[in-house]
Structure 1
Amino acid sequence: MRLLLMSDTHLPRRAKVLPPQLLAEVPRADVVIHAGDWVDTATLDLLESRAQRLIGVYGNNDGPPLRARLPEVASVELGGLRFGVVHETGPAQGRERRCAARFPDLDVLVFGHSHIPWDSVSEDGRLRLLNPGSPTDRRRQPYCTYLTADVEAGHLTGVEVHRLPRHR
Structure 2
Amino acid sequence: MKIVVTADTHISNKGKQLPTCLLNECRTADLIIHAGDWKSLEVYNTLSSYGEVKGVYGNVDKDAVKEFFPLQQVVEVNGYKIGIVHGHGDKKTTEKQALAAFYDKEVDVIVFGHSHIPLIRYFKHVLLINPGSPTDKRKLPYYSYGILEMEERIRAEIVFFDGRS
Q: Give TM-score, length-normalised by structure 1.
A: 0.87
In 1, Cα distance between the equivalents of 2:104 and 2:21? 32
Q: CA deviation at 1:130?
A: 0.5
Identity %: 37
CA separation of 1:22 and 1:93: change in aligned 2, threshold 3 A: closer
- Partner residue in 2 for 1:115: 116
Tell whether the 8 Å contact from 2:94 to 2:114 is kept in structure 1 after alignment. Answer: no
Q: CA deviation at 1:48?
A: 1.6
- Partner residue in 1 for 2:9: 9
Tell whether the 8 Å contact from 2:11 to 2:38 is kept in structure 1 after alignment. Answer: yes
SS at match of 2:113: coil
1:81 aligns with 2:103: no
SS at match of 1:50: coil
Any stretches of 5+ residues in structure 2 without a counterpart?
Answer: none
Residue 160 of structure 2: which of 130, 142, 163 is its match?
A: 163
In 1, Cα distance between the equivalents of 2:108 and 2:98? 14
| Residue range with higher mean Cα deviation, 83-92 or 16-25 | 83-92
Q: CA deviation at 1:98?
A: 4.5
Tell me the C-alpha RMSD between the 2 structures.
Answer: 2.2
| Residue range with higher mean Cα deviation, 62-71 or 42-51 | 42-51
SS at match of 1:67: helix
- Partner residue in 2 for 1:57: 56
SS at match of 2:27: helix
Any stretches of 5+ residues in structure 1 without a counterpart?
Answer: none
Name the aligned partner's letter for residue 156 of structure 1.
I
Q: Give TM-score, length-normalised by structure 2.
A: 0.88
Tell whether the 8 Å contact from 2:85 to 2:101 is kept in structure 1 after alignment. Answer: no
CA separation of 1:24 and 1:93: change in aligned 2, threshold 3 A: closer
- Partner residue in 2 for 1:68: 67
What does 1:16-165 align with in structure 2 at a 5 Å threshold?
16-51=16-51, 53-88=52-87, 91-92=92-93, 95=96, 98-99=99-100, 102-122=103-123, 125-153=124-152, 155-157=153-155, 159-165=156-162
Q: CA deviation at 1:97?
A: 9.6
Q: Deviations over 1:76-114 (max 9, x none)?
A: 110111101000155448739944862541110000000
SS at match of 2:44: helix
In 2, Cα distance between the equivalents of 1:10 and 1:127? 27
| Residue range with higher mean Cα deviation, 97-106 or 17-26 | 97-106
Name the aligned partner's letter for residue 84 of structure 1.
G
Q: Deviations over 1:52-74 (max 9, x none)?
A: x2111110010000111111101
